[in-house]
Amino acid sequence: MEFTSLYSAFDLYPSSKGAATHIHQMSKALFEHFGSGYLYVLGNERLPSFQNEGNVEIYRFNEVIPNYLKRAEAFGIRLSMFLADKPDLKLAHFRDIWSGLALLKKDRTYKTIFEVNALMSIELPYRYPYLSKKSLLKIKDIENFCLENSDLIICPSKSIKENLIKISVPESKIKIVTNGAELKIEYSDIQDLPAEYVIYFGALQTWQGVDDLIKAFAGLKDYENLKLVICSSNRPSYSKPYRKLAEKLGVSEKIIWKYQLPKEELNTWIRFARLSIAPMKETERNILQGFSPLKVFESMATGTAVLASDLASVREIITDKENGRLVRPERPAELSRMIRFMLDYPEYTIELGKKGRLTVEKKFNWEQKNKELKEIYANLFKFEQQ
């Protein structure tokens, strides 16, 4: 079988994180369009370094290198070696600058698409606050190299596109393919669901605003049976500071923690929540970079009402009072009052959830995004075929 496409991502795949969902959906469209392809991703000790899936060959970089930048560099070097005997490659679609360094060679014979979900020069300082200025400048240079030399850039939101234009990326070079959600959702049978709860799910980075949610929840102690369920895509150790905050505020026993749940189980927790909360902060990461929160799409797809921070990226998905509710970010008291309002008017909240589901059906389902991406692939080669 001739393999002519490659999707590369410096991310663990599969995993419980939103990045893995995105990798699955985007690479699926790529391999369906070309009929086959290579998937080059990160692995770990539990995942095989090679996996044959018929028309897709999965290669994983499994080398254990604790230092992030050294591992990223090694990942790129190994990808360069992998490409050495792939003369039939027609398109390389990548979602990180480390892949870009390997793929954007001057003598390349294939097209390239840089999928920008985040700018590492903005994102990494939140994950590694002790990164040196020298390292950040180097990352910025690599980022600019990838933006300038890729044939096309795709991103999941208008806010990211606008911010890329502000740093001199030509508008004509950028295409938007928003995130989405599955319409046919698989659930599992869970026997111990609380009678009444609200939910947060996703990662526990500081910009996600989980601390604001816990503070807001502390203002709802009079709801004796109400629980806050936090389904973390991270390991339990990441929740330690939030558990300490909950203990300090006297709500530890009202918070249920779940970690790295299988997708079907997570879907069930979302589906039966009174509302799903996405309390993102007003940070440089969310404002100057932009984002596209999968948790909002996936909550809406289950029919569960969403309460989220009023940020430009979120307003691309939710119109306040129409298909969800928005509150100003980093204001726990306001967030608490809105949770209270939505709990006290359940019929109103249920109706918002139904309208959220309709929004996903009309505008934000993965089947649509798959078609949009395939059109982009076709157009990239259109002139060569004439």
Per-residue pLDDT of the chain (386 residues; tens, 9 = 90+): 689 999 999 999 999 888 999 999 999 999 999 999 999 999 999 999 999 998 999 999 999 999 999 999 999 999 999 999 998 999 999 999 999 999 999 999 999 999 999 999 998 988 888 899 999 999 999 999 999 999 999 999 999 999 999 999 999 999 999 999 999 999 999 988 999 999 999 999 999 999 999 999 999 999 999 999 999 999 999 999 999 999 999 999 999 999 999 999 999 999 999 999 999 999 988 998 889 999 999 999 999 999 999 999 999 999 999 999 999 999 999 999 999 999 999 999 999 999 999 999 999 999 999 999 999 999 998 755 44
Residue with tokens 């480390």: 98
C-alpha angle 68/178/80, rounded to 5°?
Answer: 35
Cα torsion 51, 52, 53, 54 to 10°: value is 170
Question: Which helix H or strand E contains 60, and what residues bound it?
Answer: strand 56-61
Are the folds of 5-180+365-385 and 196-363 the same?
A: yes
Which value, in Å, is the radius of gyration of the alpha carbons in the chain? 21
**Edge-to-edge strand list for the sheet holding 325-327:** 255-259, 226-232, 196-202, 276-278, 306-309, 325-327
76-111 pLDDT tens trace? 999 999 999 998 999 999 999 999 999 999 999 999
Domain ranges of the chain: 5-180+365-385, 196-363
Alpha helices in 257-329, H assignment, sequence order: 263-271, 284, 294-302, 312-315
Whole-number pLDDT of residue 221: 96
The distance from CA 31 to its chain's CA centroid, rounded to whole angstroms, is: 20
**Rounded CA separation 223/202 (Å):** 25
Residue 146 in tokens: 């990838």
Whole-number pLDDT of residue 383: 52
Whole-number pLDDT of residue 126: 86
Residue 40 in tokens: 């080059």
Residue 296 in tokens: 């909002």
Q: Which CATH class is domain 196-363?
A: alpha beta
* Beta-carbon contacts of residue 8 (< 8 Å; ≥ 6 apart): 39, 40, 41, 79, 92, 93, 94, 95, 96, 99, 102, 103
* Beta-carbon contacts of residue 379 (< 8 Å; ≥ 6 apart): none
Q: What is the CATH number of domain 5-180+365-385?
A: 3.40.50.2000
Residue 236 preceded by cis peptide, ω within 30 = no
